[in-house]
Amino acid sequence: MNPVFSIIIPLFNREKLIVDTIGSLLAQSETNWEALIVDDGSTDRSREVVRQYSDQDPRIILLERPAERRKGPSACRNIGFESARGDYIFYLDSDDLLEEHFCENAAFEFREDPELDFLGVQCIYFSMNTDELLDHSYQPDFHDDEIKVHYIEKSLRVQTESFCWRKSFLDRYQNHWPEDQRVGEDRVCYYRILTRPCFGSWAKSKVQVFHRSGNPSGIENDQLTPQVNRNPQYAKERTLTAKRLIDAFIDSDALSSASEKLLLDNALCTLRGVLSYNHTDIAKDAFQQIVSFANRVNRPEYLRKAKTYMRLAWVFRFHRIPFVEKCYRIIRGFFTRGEK
């Protein structure tokens, strides 16, 4: 009998955190699932830890990314999907946790509505453990029939765990994760799909996942640290994400006045971020994206904003000077010390 759920997890150097993630799978009230854990060339004991579980439980399947496939979580997710046998698909990161009734509740929603292509998932943020919930969990206020409109006209905010999918629907999109991307790949993947004909539902009271915000030592998420932001490759990835989001909308019938504004605001935010870390050459590419798209959709006000950003690039760079940045963190810590 095929499993009801296929949970696909890319894995890289998470020998400690993957134990908690697997524990949340083993605690599921729906027991007919498979977990496809795809190792991305870990250099710690991650593979050995997962293998200990898979030797005892056939539902846990350890796969390894072949050397000829590009390194990164996108390739691992595509590899997992290629082997998936479940009726429903969920992509889970190796440091996040499933709520105990996740599979049971999601399967119920899909069975109740055969037309349903995907479910919106409520992400509950936590720090070190689920007893330490954070106050920025994503709980958008919209109705089931507005879910797609919400994401393509009001918010480009998605992450790996934002959606749960019917496999027969995803079968239309082989290799749907962009394997040449390691930053923003979830946004590109999901918006390429959402801008095509599909139907989803928001089940915020029933379908939940715990999303780890930061690592166990309390350090900010790796992608948000100044060291990573200063990396030109990260800046290129951000710019590529903004371009591919625009391409996804242009190639579909989802482009509207609201989505135009959303895409241009996102592109401006990307330009501002790239400029703030002095990636001048990459900023030129980001600027050209805005010029091209703004001209195409006749939004001259965004051309003016982009030109102003380029002229005043030093303003964005100023607050990234290490001394100024350190002072900012100290001041911010002083004023937010009572929030902990």
Q: Could you tell me if residue 252 is inside a domain?
A: yes
Question: Hey, what amino acid is at 256?
Answer: S
Give 217's pLDDT tier (boundaries 50, 70, 90): very low
Domain count, the chain: 2
Within this chain, do residues 130 and 266 fall inside the same structural domain, yes or no? Answer: no
Percent of residues, the chain, with pLDDT higher than 70: 82
String of DSSP letters for 107-125: HHHHHH-TT--EEE-EEEE
96 versus 204: the higher-pLDDT residue is 96
Give 1's pLDDT tier (boundaries 50, 70, 90): confident
Query: Which residues constitute the domain of residue 254?
Result: 225-318
The tokens for 260 are 């135009």
Last residue of a domain, one of 181, 212, 243: 212
Within this chain, do residues 298 and 192 fall inside the same structural domain, yes or no? Answer: no
Q: Is the dihedral of CA 67, 72, 75, 77 positive or negative?
A: positive
pLDDT at residue 333, rounded to an integer? 67
- Contact between 3 and 86 under an 8 Å Cβ cutoff? The reply is yes
| φ/ψ of residue 33, rounded to 5 | -140, 165
The pTM score is 0.87
pLDDT at residue 72, rounded to an integer? 94
pLDDT at residue 216, rounded to an integer? 44
pLDDT at residue 219, rounded to an integer? 34
Poorest-confidence range of 145-154, 221-230, 256-265?
A: 221-230
Q: What radius of gyration, in Å, describes the C-alpha atoms of the chain?
A: 21
Within this chain, do residues 13 and 123 fall inside the same structural domain, yes or no? Answer: yes
Q: Could you tell me if residue 231 is inside a domain?
A: yes
Last residue of a domain, one of 212, 240, 268: 212
Average confidence score pLDDT of the chain: 87
What is the rounded distance in angstroms from the CA atom of residue 52 to the CA atom of residue 19? 11
Q: Provide the CATH number for the domain around residue 21.
A: 3.90.550.10
pLDDT at residue 223 tops 80: no
pLDDT at residue 144 tops 80: no
| φ/ψ of residue 171, rounded to 5 | -60, -20
How far, CA to CA in Å, does 156 sit from each of 72, 124, 127?
22, 18, 24
Question: Hey, what amino acid is at 214?
Answer: G
Give 339's pLDDT tier (boundaries 50, 70, 90): very low
Give 134's pLDDT tier (boundaries 50, 70, 90): low
Give 225's pLDDT tier (boundaries 50, 70, 90): low
Q: Could you tell me if residue 18 is inside a domain?
A: yes
- Contact between 162 and 120 under an 8 Å Cβ cutoff? The reply is yes
How far, CA to CA in Å, does 299 sit from each of 247, 294, 309?
17, 5, 16
Average pLDDT over every residue of 302-319: 84
Within this chain, do residues 288 and 183 fall inside the same structural domain, yes or no? Answer: no
End-to-end CA distance of the chain: 49
How far, CA to CA in Å, does 165 sit from each of 106, 162, 301?
9, 10, 38
- Contact between 70 and 78 under an 8 Å Cβ cutoff? The reply is no
